[in-house]
Amino acid sequence: MKNNGIALLLVTVMLTGIVSVFTVNAEDKQPGPMSGQQGKVIMAPAEFMKKAAESNAKMLEIKKSVSDRREKLYESNPSIKTLWAEMVAMQKEINSILEADAEYNDLILKRDILNSVLPETSFQPFRNPKMPQAMPAK
């Protein structure tokens, strides 16, 4: 529960910051993020902030329950263990085929070079949904 309190505090602080960044121009009432013009700050109601924080805490709790259950299944179900081992072996075979392709390797190198010179962003890199996730630690 200690982590839920920290998460609740972080969400509250983040939401307060996000909501308070938006201003309203006093003349035309058009909202604009950090417009630099004179305006008044719009604050989210306390009830909204409370509900958002509670929802986030519930979501974190559910995610942890799902993760714990998944880990338990991976550890206890022999079929999952066997299939997981087969999947890892197949993925290694796929990786060796990909690594043997010169064009693929050139594209990866170009991407990595570009990533090294671009500023850090919140962009999530492409992830193939068919790629296996890492097996939970024992």
**Owning domain of residue 43:** 1-76
Residue scoring higher pLDDT (114 or 129)? 114
Residue 15 in this model has a pLDDT that exceeds 80: no
Are both 5 and 66 inside the same structural domain? yes
Please state, rounded to an integer, the average pLDDT across all residues of the chain.
Answer: 75
Domain final residue, candidates 25, 58, 76 = 76
Domain final residue, candidates 76, 95, 117 = 76
Domain final residue, candidates 76, 100, 123 = 76
Q: For the whole prediction, is pTM greater than 0.75?
A: no
Are both 83 and 67 inside the same structural domain? no
Reduced 3-state DSSP string for 6-52: HHHHHHHHHHHHHHHHEEEECCCCCEEECCCCCEEECCCCHHHHHHH
Q: Give how far Cα 5 sits from Cα of 2, 9, 11, 61, 80, Å.
A: 5, 6, 10, 11, 35
Contact indicator for 81, 74 with CB cutoff of 8 Å? yes
Report pLDDT digits (tens) over 62-86: 999 999 999 999 999 999 999 999 9
pLDDT of residue 122: 55
pLDDT of residue 117: 83
Domains identified in the chain, total number: 2
